Structure 1
Amino acid sequence: MLRDFSAQALFMGLLTAFVGFASSFAVVLHGLTGVGASEAQAASGVMALSISMGLCAIVLSAWTRLPVSIAWSTPGAALLASSGAVEGGFAAAVGGFLICAALIVVAGLWKPLGRMVAAIPATLANAMLAGVLIGLCFAPVKAVAFNPAFGLAILGAWAVVGAFNRLLAVPAALVAFALVLTFGIDIPDGAFSAIARDLLPRPEIVAPVFNLPGLVSIALPLFVVTMASQNIPGIAVLKVNQYEPNPGPLFAATGIFSFLSAPFGGHAVNLAAITAAMCAGEDAHADPRRRYWAAINAGVFYVVFGLLAGAVTAIVNLAPPILIQAVAGLALISAFAGSAMNAFKEAETREAAALTFLTTASGVSFGGISGAFWGLLAGGLVMGVGRFVAARKAKKV
């Protein structure tokens, strides 16, 4: 393995970890607080997720000698932000995280469940994801309305840098947020010294509560979004780059590491989709057999970033929430555009996808169960009835 190490893979690993962490930690932070986590619990969750996905990437890449990139579930975090607090508070959300992790393990080890997830119509899965994301994607505009100077600085950095390098657009927005925080926000005296004193991580263990709202509003939608939007595309990225992974064990491993991070407030880790292309492509190394070191290096840097999560979270919380939500929204615009396009591209399923999207995006819950579940259910029923009627008509003809 040491003979396969290269400076190119080291640099790509660092870049992958920086882009993966900086471009979406705001989404994760907002998602955890959205389901009731305190500042300390959210920091613990970000730390646990970053360390878990780093260790998972190191273990899987060293074991398979494939560039297996791991990420936290960014769409899942957006789902949490739109779901809101459930009955039982954050403890019930943690119970949902544990159930989701168990389902991911089962999906990897028990092929029928994996096939069931793969059988969920892609149009409905994308419509649900688009409905989940749209609320956060409004945040940049709301930030401009809140404070034009601050909002436009963040939005402008994202737009200008993104015109040259799309991968660096969100980190640029994060840098602009840091500048706004430093020079534009009135920070109380002694705030940074207090953060420095608490620089070491402080994990917070949350005793889980298992109830029906946590199962239906958190666990099941989080499982579907994580599998459909992250794990399955992650396998596809590896295959596009001429690798032939065995999906089942990889899925199960991400479920195990998700299970380990859940008691500390982490929602889910999974195969990376976007950053996976960075480690699996030619930029990681000219020799495909040596690219796995890029994923290993990314894992090491994820662990380092995770150990600094407490300080990062405390610094972020010094600013008005809408500003970090704006960064999170910018990080999700591309995902929203892709999911919306895939949801509505087929004319025969467009109405079912629209119903799924609108129900999910409404943010309305029924019986304590979030709109994401009801949207998927409503769209599935409409699609099923439509296909049944079409089949009956075809028989008569």
Structure 2
Amino acid sequence: MKNVWDDFTLSTFVAGLIAVLVGYTSSAVIVFQAAAAAGASSAEASSWLGILCVSMGILTVVLSLKYKSPVMFAWSTPGAALLIGSLRGELLSDIIGAFVFSSLLVLLSGVTGFFERVMKKIPVGIASAMLAGILLHFALDVFTSMKTHMLLVMSMFIVYAVGKRFFARFNIVIVLCIGMMVAWLQGLMNFTPIEFGLMKPVFTTPTLNWQVLFSIGLPLFVVTMTSQNMTGLAVMKANHYKPEVSKLITYSGLTNLLVAPFGGYALNLSALTAAICMGPEADPDPKKRYTAAISSGLIYIPVGLFSGAVVGVFNAFPKELVMAIAGLALMGTINNGLLSAVTHEEDREAAMITFFVTASGVMLFGISSAFWGLVAGSLASFIFKFKKVTHGH
């Protein structure tokens, strides 16, 4: 265990903290909205969020330790959005049954190895372009957020630029501290009374309703695999980590199956927050970045256990501070993604198609642009290479 502690650094811990801050502040409210759309009580909604945080924290810590790679899990934000848009007064027990059904399908995808075979066919350049496309809006948010709070965001940006030159190792740590200090001096920190109390898991016995299984469970499975697991694995691939794909999908499906009756609607590999822990800002040494993932997992567990109290703490930060720190923490990852996308000449044009489609944010059939970017880029790559082969003959 000693070598693990040796790999922990202040920068990896802060990367983990920022990943939690960004993940929680950007989408926790969507999970609450999904629970409300399902007709869940406030206790049940708290159970949904708490059980998701605890289970993804445990999965992240255990598997990052096991593989010595940053293996990060998250709840499915597109999955929650799907629930908000699709639920029309179905029984809560039927909805929970659909969560169980979706988890079983994920588990089956992992056990059979089907998903891994699909992922192996995606070139690294296309995966890197997709990653850059997903993260582009975070970088743009740094500058658009200057419209509302120029002094706060500009001071963070200047410290970031100076830090890249003089204190690169602790740059994001210092940027975060400066941002908090400026926000506090400007009276932008919005502290509310904090309610302490352990989250109480609420068990709902699943019931099987075929209509709900196919109208909710099946789309939830498709969105989880395409918008989340596929992009999560592409992020790992783009950062040159080689995960055991089928095993990771199996672990997530099995855990999801256990927590589904408590409101754990979809657990999957993280893409956006994982990029924060896999980039050069987390640690210059890629072999130490797994400790950033472990840090995020160790923070997520108490966040889940005391979800009510943590909401108050995270809500204290102005949204511009969160947008700016996320964008600045991801700058290096976006740079690397774009560089990798254009490195291999034979995949360059297909990679740029992937980047543009993904960055466009287009959504078709409830599936995010990241998936369609991969599809468009892979199809373009196949056509370009097929043309070369036929011309060769």
Matched residue, 1:132: 134
One-letter identity of the residue aligned with 1:71? M
What is the deviation of 1:28? 1.4
Pairing 1:274–2:278 present: yes
Deviates more, 1:214-223 or 1:120-129: 214-223
Matched residue, 1:345: 343
Alpha carbons of 1:101 and 1:341: their partners in 2 closer, same or farther (altered >3 Å)?
Answer: farther
TM-score (norm: length of structure 2): 0.70
- Out of 38, 51, 55, the residue aligned to residue 54 of structure 2 is 51
Deviations 1:198-241 (A, max 9, x none): 4644768999972676555554121211122237968549xxxx
Alpha carbons of 1:377 and 1:248: their partners in 2 closer, same or farther (altered >3 Å)?
Answer: closer
Q: Which runs of 5+ in 1 are unaligned?
A: 238-245, 285-291
**In 1, distance between residues paired with 2:265 and 2:170?**
28
What is the deviation of 1:114? 1.3
Alpha carbons of 1:113 and 1:363: their partners in 2 closer, same or farther (altered >3 Å)?
Answer: closer
One-letter identity of the residue aligned with 2:22? V
* SS class of match (1:364): coil
TM-score (norm: length of structure 1): 0.69
Pairing 1:383–2:388 present: no
Matched residue, 1:184: 186
CA contact (8 A) 1:10 1:297 kept: no
Matched residue, 2:73: 72
Deviations 1:82-131 (A, max 9, x none): x9944743979999998886666445433343122122222222222221
* SS class of match (1:55): helix
* SS class of match (1:268): strand
Query: Matches of residues 28-177 of structure 1 in structure 2 within 5 Å?
Result: 28-32=23-27, 37-38=32-33, 48=51, 50-56=53-59, 59=62, 67=68, 70-72=71-73, 80=77, 85-86=81-82, 88-89=84-85, 105-106=107-108, 108-163=110-165, 166=168, 168-177=170-179
One-letter identity of the residue aligned with 2:137? G
**In 2, distance between residues paired with 1:117 and 1:326?**
32
**In 2, distance between residues paired with 1:370 and 1:295?**
24
Matched residue, 1:242: none
Pairing 1:230–2:236 present: yes
CA contact (8 A) 2:130 2:354 kept: yes
Equivalent residues, number: 363
Deviations 1:128-177 (A, max 9, x none): 22211101211111222322211123324444445455454333333334
One-letter identity of the residue aligned with 1:56? L
Alpha carbons of 1:379 and 1:176: their partners in 2 closer, same or farther (altered >3 Å)?
Answer: same
**Root-mean-square deviation (Å):** 4.8
**In 1, distance between residues paired with 2:100 and 2:132?**
25
Matched residue, 2:41: none
Matched residue, 1:287: none
Deviates more, 1:84-93 or 1:351-360: 84-93
The share of aligned pairs that are identical, in percent, is 26
**In 2, distance between residues paired with 1:319 and 1:166?**
24
